[in-house]
Copies of this chain bind each other. A is one copy, B any other.
Amino acid sequence: MQTESARGRSVNETRNRILDVALDVLGRNPDAGMGDIASSAGVVRRTVYGHFPTRTDLVRTLAQRAVGEIVAVLTEVDAPERAAEAVWVDFVARMWPLMRRYRVLLALRRGEYGEEIHTLLEPVDTILAGLVQRGQDRGDFGRHLPAGVLSQVAYATVFSIADNGLAGGAPGARAATITSLLLLGVPEARATALADGQP
């Protein structure tokens, strides 16, 4: 049964709600305080401290969860024998509906958490760099930038497109896919074909 008050919710229910809301709130404004997060979660500030002793703990947990989810998508989509192009297309398709959810990671890279977040994002960075490297080796992606940089730039670009009003919708997904493929050095004709599901 749905309870309107937050009184009778199970521990994990509240905890997850806080985490989810924080993902959203901090995505919009990385400087949001515990108070903002609490009220957005329909909970009192004191309650948040009951689940996360420190703001830093909240953020770290948040980032860990988000990174875990992205890595999951990535390992699910990326197979050594698949073409890097196709993997990237699938990756963007899977990420696009959840851009809002992971915006916080970009916002966190620069911010009071210097090394903390950087080492936390390392898995994602590594997989992405490897993927782009493979694409370059097989001639699918361009060599105008080293794989490590190109992957980051392409990744950031998808977020950039989402930030500029195209977040969520299907047309946005197609545009983001094509644009990021162009950036990666895929010719326009092939990029549109890939974005429309042709192998």
Q: Which residues of A are interface residues toward B (Cβ below 8 A)?
A: 29-31, 107, 110-112, 142, 144-145, 148-150, 152-153, 156-157, 160-161, 164-166, 175, 178-179, 182-183, 185, 187-188, 192
In the complex, chain B residues whose CB is within 8 Å of the CB of A192 = 144
State whether A165 touches B149 (Cβ < 8 A): yes
Contact indicator B112/A110 (Cβ below 8 Å): no
Interface CB pairs A-B, < 8 A, 10:
A30-B110, A144-B192, A148-B164, A149-B161, A149-B165, A153-B161, A156-B157, A157-B157, A182-B182, A182-B183
B164 touches A152 (CB 8 A): yes
Q: How far is the CB of A155 from chain B (nearest CB, A)?
A: 9
Report the separation of the CA atoms of residues A161 and B112 in the bound assembly, to the nearest whole angstrom. 22
Chain B residues within 8 Å of A187, by CB: 187-188
Roughly how many angstroms separate A107 CA and B107 CA in the complex, as a whole number?
Answer: 10
B110 in contact with A145 (CB, 8 Å)? no
Of all chain B residues, the one with the shortest Cβ separation from A177 is B144
Say which residue of B29, B110, B153, B175 sits within 8 Å of A179 (CB atoms): B153
**Residues B175 and A144 in contact, CB atoms below 8 Å apart:** yes
CB of A194, distance to nearest CB on chain B (Å): 13
